[in-house]
Structure 1
Amino acid sequence: MSHSTIVNSGIELDARGISIDGSPRVVLCASLFYFRLPREQWRARLEQVRASGYTCVDVYLPWNFHETAPGRWSFEGRRDVAAFLDLAQETGLYVIARPGPYICSEWDGGALPAWLGLDPGLRVRQHEPRFLAQVAAWFDQVLPILADRQYQVGGPVIMVQLENELDFFDCEDRTGYLTALRDQAIHHGVTVPLIACAGQGDLAGATGDVPGVVPACNFYPDDDSPHIEAEVRRYAELLADRGLPLMITETNRRHRTLRRLLASGASLIAPYLQSSGWNFGYTPSSGNWGKPGNFMSHGYDFGGYVSSTGAERPEYTQAQVLARVIDALGSRLALATSTVPRVEVTADFPTSSSPSALDLSEGGQLIAVPNLGTAPGRAVVNGVPVAVAPDSCPLMLVDVPLRSWDFDASDATLTLASADLVAATDGALAFSSDVPVTVVLGGTQVEIPAPTAGAPERTVVEGLTLVVLAPSDAGRLRSLGRDGTVRLADAPRRQGTTPPTAVRSVRRRSFAAPEKPAGTHELPPTLESLGAYRGRGTYRTTADLTGVDELLLVGAADIVDLSIAGRVCPTIAGFGAAQRIDVHEVTGSVAIEALVEIWGHANFDDARLPALRLGALRGLGTLWRVRDVRDLSALWTVHGQWAGVPAPTRELGGWSSTRVGIPLTYTRDVQSKTVSALHLRGVVEPVRVTVDDGEPSTVHAEDPWVLLPAGTHQVSITMPHHPSGGGLRAELLSLEPVTGWSCGAQDDDLLTGFAAGVGPTEGIRLPLALKPGEEAWLDVDLPPSDDGFLVRLDGSGIRVTGWAAGECLGRIWVGDRPAFSGGDSDVLWVPAGWTGLTLLIRGIEGQGAPELRTLRLESPNG
């Protein structure tokens, strides 16, 4: 399929690249998310991106950030996305808007509202009427905001992305689903290009091959891989065959890698999260990231060029230099085509296995020569030795005519330049390098020494002044005179830092937060069914545990603090995996209480744990008394791999065969008078379990359990054959539910309202010791500050939630805890101007007695 996209929007996409109002562009784009920043900082962060040389920001719009409860919409304050887009326009930035409906982004539920899971007939991210009706309500709210701010009507929006990496998800009807989203966008007047990104290279899987939906690519390679170029060029060719440019809507942040993508044919390069932020409140996700079960931290930072608090990192200068290369080459680069070098390139350092080059539109090539090592080296380009710095990727120019810069000798050719060209006039060329630069101009070869910051090197060759700037100077380059004079912007002032301040005096509130009564229930309901889409809830009952040695908790998520007969259990954070709980020392009628907190709904669809399925609900799950345990490892019949009739009877996994790895099925009848749980101990690789004539399910090592209704069932287990049996054992637990639960809910609004309130307090000095399960609400007086604070807690065995200025800052888990991902998981950020600090401290059972020893206030600029 070949097509170009021109929809009277001023934006044209074709095989040669991106044109805006007829002007070809290479677009550098940084992720910048309004919902992860204080509104007061929006303008400064946008201006910071623009000063980096990037010309565009990509912006997710999270559905569940704006629909806070079913039918309750908010677009005010920090949710005023229209104001953010207007600020982007004022700052001179384009915008790629990404309204989902699913965004991933390590955000609570991937932005899908939690209550969608309450409708058993609704299937998220499918061409299904119930889901599409909910999406229509969201699009009715958000798409008019985008349509009113499209480029052709004077706004910043140049593209709108539908969905996000759909090729990762098992969507049954991709064409129907994307067609429905496309039609809604068109209905609301969106005429800029509609794009859909492929997360793992499946262009059809991401777009459904729907006409009018342009495929884009997300690449997250190993930065040190020598094979990046070959993969990226393949996608550039595939898209060129469709009459489209290669647009990389997400990728790594390192500019050495971004240069390799540019040389491989990318017209849009959008490294993900160059400008970092924060997951305020209860908005982080729980996810997989390869290892199932972790929590996304409050800090949302993966090492981009701007930190979560707005500090510029060394990569920021690299951004400015690359942007100046793109500006200096202009349409030559924007209309270039990807290929391989026409001249021989060798190197004495680790480099690309297949270097990329761009045929520039007015002649000559740009060749990327990455040094993937940590030591300086030398490359030989068309027989000329040149220096290459470690961990760099100079964009070398070969055989480039100088006529388009109005150089007096119109037939002059830049035969070779071993460094980045960052500016050009009719009398001078400026390069950026921190190693010596080799230039061949016509028949003259010169080597220019490496410059130092503030001291450019200059030489004149055949009437042309050559200037070499240190990268720090090139990043601040404002103009280049025809005589080689340079004007630099003022160096940025370094913000001062203040030493950490220890806080030991706090005020403890006399009362705890109330909870909303949520009725009595036979079995524990989900928190979402109680109206708590973010926040936490309590479950209480009394149960007779006479003769019961253990309980089985099934489906608990996310964070469960369980107390039985006054004994607090270690915190459970198993994402729905079945948990055995020893109660052999408890007997009679005892109180059972659970506090269940939602960390965040899954942002990715991971089948290995129940709570990591996209759309999965939160809550206590079901608590069962275990009445009996039987070993079922024997008396399985074998089917397949030359097993005859009648089927042989073996232990589970006990068949012997030379067909290693070929699936083999074991079957037996399983009988229980009650609901039961089949436990497959020793599962390593996933196995398929079929009950009676039902659909097979996959059982993983992370949750090797299958619930069975009362009665007799034929159970079949299919697994790859292992000659030694693999050590798999089976046992059957006969279950009886614990019933009669009374519930209460504390959603995020209730907790935030309580934190913002006032009441009687008592001044105390830290350290504060707590019992497991005990909570304390603390008010902390903050000293004046123009920069805000990072709050770091020293203690053990506590979970902490913080609030300031009427906003939940986030949560910290101090001591023994599950895995975390993202930025610094041990700090809360109080932005400048956000007054007051309230902390909810909860003691948890585990390693170390619960204690808050001290608070440290740190400078965010440190």
Structure 2
Amino acid sequence: MLQPVVFDHHRFVIDGHPRVLMCASLFPFRVPRAQWRQRLEAVKCLGYHAVDVYIPWNYHETAPGVWDFEGQHDIEAFLHMTHETGLYALVRPGPYICSEWDGGAIPAWIATDEMIDVRQNDPAFLKAVGEWYDKIMPIIARQQYRGAEAADGGPVIMVQVDNELDFFACRDPQGYIGALAEMMRAHGVNVPLISCAGQGDMLRACGGADGVAPAVNLYPGDNDVDVDEQVRYYRHASDAYDVPLVVTETNRWHRTLRRLVGNGARFIGPFLQVSGWDFDYGTSVNNWGRVEAYMTHDYDFGGVIDPAGQERPDCDDARRLCAIIDALGERLATAELADDRLSDVRVAASDGSDLAELGELDESATGVAVGALNLGGGGKLLTLTNVSEVTVPLRIGAHTAANQAAEASEVSDSILPDLMLPAGAGVMVPVDLPLGDGLVLHATSGELIALDESAHTLTLAAPTMVPGAIWAAFTAADDSTLAGKSLPVTHADADLQSCSGDGFLLVQGERGTATIGEGAAAWRVVFQQSERLVTPSCAPQTSLRAISAAANEPRWIPRCEVAAHDALPLEDWGVYSGTGRYRAKADLSDALGVVLHDAADTVSLRYGDMVSDWQACGGVDLWMPFNRPVTGDAGELTVTARIWGHSNFDDTRLDSLKLDAKRGIRGAMAIERKLDIGSGWLVGYGQADEAADGAAERELRKAGLVIGNNPTPRCGFGSRSTTVWPHTLTYTRTLSMGSASAACLHIKHGQTRCEVRVNGQPIGIITPLKPTLWLGNVADGSELAITVSRMWGEEAGRISLLLGHELTGWTCESQGLPELRMAGEHADYAPATMPLTVPGGKGVWLRVPEASIRQSEHAQNTVARFEGDGLQLTAFTNEHCLGRVVLGGLPGTVFAGGRGDLFLIPQGEGDLLLYVESTRSAGGVLHGVLLGGPIDR
């Protein structure tokens, strides 16, 4: 039986017909189930043909061996609804999806298991993936597209294997991707399998695995002249693999998306076209910030559908692009790249004369980029994009050739007007398009948005970016008819005008209908203007200055408690989300501060009446000096560590950005002395007995960097001057521990990479991102060696030795979202007024009544914003945890992925409960709550 979906060389074929498809990202785990159908219908209303659906493993396996496919988690119901809406689906079940989701969707108990090598051709990892595939693949197989006439099946036309593997150091891509694909096929998945390249390396992304087609993610600069060449490059690369160009992710702006379509992409998936929200959990940390970034719960990159499901202005261009794709149909779906793409376009000079072709003038000089396809059946599609800051007059079509021909030609500049392309505008126009019955659409300034060849009707519309009058030039297909023959035309509207010359018929105007030709061969040509979006009004905003509050400090409801000699990462005692509290008996009355070992994600300290600011920390050692003497009831140190999320990327610059990184802390050291050790170092080449270092030494000597050893030079840390760059030198000294048993190094303002050894044993690395390094228990008289790598004279920084002792005898307890919600549900609320002050280290519950929320509801949601500083707010409804908002920021991180300053409250989910915590030792203040209004303001 023929498959209903196949890749036929460079064509994407569905039900025997080549297609070009626009696909919008729509993730059901980021949209309340009650709003799924509205989002699907919104995509359909744009004219899009498909949705791209990530399926997160850890969203469905909620705890080891615990699976959830009901309610909000019912992915099969969503796919069924997609099919009912008339949309196709590309599903991406991982195991890794990225998507700025917790751990890239790999469950934390898998990723942090030291016996499992994630995203590798590792039997232990593949066994775990197999258990996930055993659950999800039967659903996908049932929901595969089985043809337009099939009584069963669903919308799935493609399945992606893993995601963006070329970002990751996979040692055996072919074996890994091949193993995943084999498991998919074993479960009955027979639609095309693809594997996308995140940064253009198709081979590493798909591994060359049998039966897996490479796809690519393209994120060019929207204003780059080079976009068209970039797309054509990957179209040729796809041709070499004998598959269509599938662009699984790309920019959202439809001016740019036109350029992908106009240069041969067959499947285009702008990311993220339907914005969403990370309800309940799912946020991650990654490398989008200066050091690291906390991803916000609102997941919005400016897509055409906002998080509340409302259209944004670019929806006009979305509908227009999809209309052009559908009008050209198989002509576009079978198009080939036009090698002479610049020959049909010329720039008009101010005196009205033609300048050279764009290729001769250079696209970067004119600011006009050109895409061109030879359409199936004849003619071309030109995609013209003006990325300059001025209007450029363009001349398209055969009058270029006519001007190059003998002057006997009677075609004049007045017959074919210039196409005036404003700054920033883009258009897609056909050239020499055969219409049948001898008629050719030779050139036009309008965009072809409908074509019915059986009814002899076509519709041309003013480009959405170039409103106003349009023109179209028609010819007869038979060259012999051009000599002195005009095509008859009749107008149904007085707005249109026409003139002819030497076989050309020019029709122009703003709107109306013209009939060209006679009898059964006549064509009906409709001119129309662009339809603009009318944005619906939003519910009025309500400012709340009086709401219910829990007056007493909320009680802590733990999920579990463990006692240990050493502090353990949260994952080591089965905690994968929420908050952990570490307690240790300690006398810190004389301490200068504390160093936390491998701390993540957000930490704070309490000792006696001393409360620290919250600090974001990327899984590294964190020096937290005390800013004042400790008083009050002391004797116990409390460290609170909060999981924001596991990394959705893999970046070794910070430990918490690794896919296998754990959260919490691994220990704490009380610091009693801080020694400046900037002087007294011996400098040399270091480990010359090691092959790599020996080679480096030889290269330095060859370059002229010579260090004698009689005596060995003694100097300050990083102070040796040289004319050789880059270079690597090693500084050594003997440690004097005194009464201390443990130590840390801290380098302030350092800009170099420092590899640290104690008694010849590697300890770790200090970088500008990791200025503190835990040495642990160190014997007096130990040798400290630091190898400093400098590229061009960076500052080595000011180095200090932090001396003290490790704390032991820890008691650890955790609290997850269910326990936190329980505390809010049992709080004793009473009326409260704003401003509300929350002291350092404290929290308070607030309740916003459902009646207030409903007054400002719009489009099944209410937007809640906050005025305040120094606070973190965690929001709950009856159905969901809506996420966290931080007012005033957190040291050590930035927030990315969305605004991070609002909550979206779905319709009908009861009161809003807010847990408001101070993030600063000095306390925080909430001035008010604002309900209602649009997402964008």
Q: What TM-score, normalized by structure 2, do the two folds share?
A: 0.83
Report the CA distance shift for 1:458/1:39 in structure 2 as closer, same or farther (over 3 A).
farther
Deviations 1:265-316 (A, max 9, x none): 2111100011111112332111111532121112111111111111101111
SS at match of 2:615: coil
Equivalent in the alignment of 2:900: 825
For structure 1, which segment, 766-775 or 368-377, has the greater mean C-alpha deviation from structure 2 after superposition? 368-377
Deviations 1:432-457 (A, max 9, x none): 321443433227999xxxxxxxx996
Shift of 1:216: 0.5
For structure 1, which segment, 771-780 or 483-492, has the greater mean C-alpha deviation from structure 2 after superposition? 483-492
1:2-151 equivalence runs, <5 A: 9-151=3-145
1:151-300 equivalence runs, <5 A: 151-152=145-146, 154-289=153-288, 291-300=290-299
Q: 1:738 aligns with which of 807, 832, 838?
A: 807
For 2:290 and 2:159, the matched residues in 1 are separated by 32
Q: Is the 2:472–2:506 contact (alpha carbons within 8 Å) kept by the matching residues of 1?
A: no
Equivalent in the alignment of 2:691: none
Report the CA distance shift for 1:46/1:670 in structure 2 as closer, same or farther (over 3 A).
farther
Equivalent in the alignment of 1:422: 449
- Is 1:609 the counterpart of 2:673 in the alignment? no
5+ unaligned residues in a row in structure 1: which ranges? 1-6, 447-454, 471-480
1:739-818 equivalence runs, <5 A: 739-755=808-824, 757-758=825-826, 760-783=828-851, 784-785=854-855, 787=858, 788-817=861-890, 818=893
Shift of 1:559: 1.6
Q: 2:473 aligns with which of 415, 440, 443?
A: 440
Equivalent in the alignment of 1:851: 925
Report the CA distance shift for 1:389/1:354 in structure 2 as closer, same or farther (over 3 A).
closer
Report the CA distance shift for 1:89/1:578 in structure 2 as closer, same or farther (over 3 A).
same
For 1:197 and 1:301, the matched residues in 2 are separated by 22
Deviations 1:360-400 (A, max 9, x none): 11112112110113543322335363111332221122222
SS at match of 1:265: coil
For 1:236 and 1:720, the matched residues in 2 are separated by 42
Deviations 1:313-346 (A, max 9, x none): 1111111000010111111100011234152534
- Is 1:500 the counterpart of 2:541 in the alignment? yes
Report the CA distance shift for 1:394/1:197 in structure 2 as closer, same or farther (over 3 A).
same
- Is 1:380 the counterpart of 2:380 in the alignment? no
- Is 1:703 the counterpart of 2:770 in the alignment? yes
Q: 1:715 aligns with which of 785, 792, 811?
A: 785
1:808 aligned partner, one-letter code: C
SS at match of 2:635: strand
For 2:810 and 2:606, the matched residues in 1 are separated by 14
Q: Is the 2:469–2:510 contact (alpha carbons within 8 Å) kept by the matching residues of 1?
A: no
For 2:905 and 2:485, the matched residues in 1 are separated by 56
Deviations 1:743-778 (A, max 9, x none): 2211122223444x3564322223322211111122
For 2:457 and 2:184, the matched residues in 1 are separated by 50
2:606 aligned partner, one-letter code: S
Shift of 1:716: 5.0
Shift of 1:458: 4.0
Shift of 1:263: 1.7
Deviations 1:720-764 (A, max 9, x none): 354x56344544334421222222211122223444x35643222
Q: 2:386 aligns with which of 368, 371, 374?
A: 371
Q: What TM-score, normalized by structure 1, do the two folds share?
A: 0.89
Report the CA distance shift for 1:464/1:334 in structure 2 as closer, same or farther (over 3 A).
farther
For 1:391 and 1:456, the matched residues in 2 are separated by 32
For 2:278 and 2:168, the matched residues in 1 are separated by 24
Q: Is the 1:636–1:649 contact (alpha carbons within 8 Å) kept by the matching residues of 2?
A: yes
SS at match of 1:394: strand
Task: Count residues with an aligned counterpart.
Answer: 828
SS at match of 2:169: coil
1:613 aligned partner, one-letter code: K
Equivalent in the alignment of 1:473: none
Equivalent in the alignment of 1:362: 377
For structure 1, which segment, 298-307 or 108-117, has the greater mean C-alpha deviation from structure 2 after superposition? 108-117
For 1:495 and 1:762, the matched residues in 2 are separated by 37
Report the CA distance shift for 1:487/1:730 in structure 2 as closer, same or farther (over 3 A).
closer
Report the CA distance shift for 1:849/1:502 in structure 2 as closer, same or farther (over 3 A).
same
For 1:225 and 1:622, the matched residues in 2 are separated by 50
Q: Is the 1:791–1:829 contact (alpha carbons within 8 Å) kept by the matching residues of 2?
A: yes
For 2:176 and 2:757, the matched residues in 1 are separated by 31
1:107 aligned partner, one-letter code: W
1:550-699 equivalence runs, <5 A: 550-583=593-626, 585-586=629-630, 590-630=635-675, 631=677, 634-638=681-685, 640=697, 641-642=700-701, 643=706, 646=709, 649=713, 651=715, 652-661=717-726, 663-668=727-732, 671=735, 674-686=741-753, 699=766
Percent identity of paired positions between Structure 1 and Structure 2: 35
Report the CA distance shift for 1:186/1:339 in structure 2 as closer, same or farther (over 3 A).
same
Shift of 1:550: 2.7
1:445-524 equivalence runs, <5 A: 458-459=496-497, 483-484=524-525, 494-509=535-550, 511-524=554-567
Q: Is the 2:682–2:733 contact (alpha carbons within 8 Å) kept by the matching residues of 1?
A: no
SS at match of 1:64: helix
For 1:575 and 1:753, the matched residues in 2 are separated by 30
1:30 aligned partner, one-letter code: A
Report the CA distance shift for 1:502/1:656 in structure 2 as closer, same or farther (over 3 A).
closer
For 1:445 and 1:356, the matched residues in 2 are separated by 33
For 1:485 and 1:522, the matched residues in 2 are separated by 81
Equivalent in the alignment of 2:461: 431
For 1:805 and 1:743, the matched residues in 2 are separated by 29
Equivalent in the alignment of 1:4: none
Q: Is the 1:775–1:843 contact (alpha carbons within 8 Å) kept by the matching residues of 2?
A: yes
SS at match of 1:635: strand
SS at match of 2:661: coil
Shift of 1:689: 5.3
- Bigger radius of gyration among the two: 2
For 2:886 and 2:485, the matched residues in 1 are separated by 61
For 1:121 and 1:336, the matched residues in 2 are separated by 50
